[in-house]
Amino acid sequence: GENVEQHPSTLSVQEGDSAVIKCTYSDSASNYFPWYKQELGKRPQLIIDIRSNVGEKKDQRIAVTLNKTAKHFSLHITETQPEDSAVYFCAASPLRRGGADGLTFGKGTHLIIQP
């Protein structure tokens, strides 16, 4: 099955600086890579996702890059703000007909924005 590795486990950056979180996956059948933000005790919130036919996607301060050959993808947050502090999870999944495949998550990154 799929194995997703995520680094770092904790990331502390100064407010206004950029943050980068990296993930690798093992299953070449995976073609959908979402990123979730989770605050303590709450449900994960999708912040951005990318499919394998695209190398980069951007949404305001958030961007995701995908290197399918190397099987790694990264989350980039620019101009970080205190409200960006949370745990971020990457995930991978194949998108097959019928949508019956669940997500395999990385172990998470605790992002701390220092004022």
Partner 1 sequence: GAVVSQHPSRVICKSGTSVKIECRSLDFQATTMFWYRQFPKQSLMLMATSNEGSKATYEQGVEKDKFLINHASLTLSTLTVTSAHPEDSSFYICSARIGGGNTIYFGEGSWLTVV
Residues found near partner 1 in the complex (CB under 8 A)? 1, 32, 34, 41-46, 49, 51, 89, 95, 97-108
Burial bucket for residue 71 (CB in 10 Å: 0-12, 13-18, 19+): middle
Residue (53 or 115) nearer to partner 1, CB = 53
Dihedral of the alpha carbons of 24, 25, 31, 37, in degrees to the nearest 10: -60
CB of 95 to partner 1, least distance (A): 7
CB of 97 to partner 1, least distance (A): 6
Tokens 């495949």 sit on residue? 101
CB of 13 to partner 1, least distance (A): 20
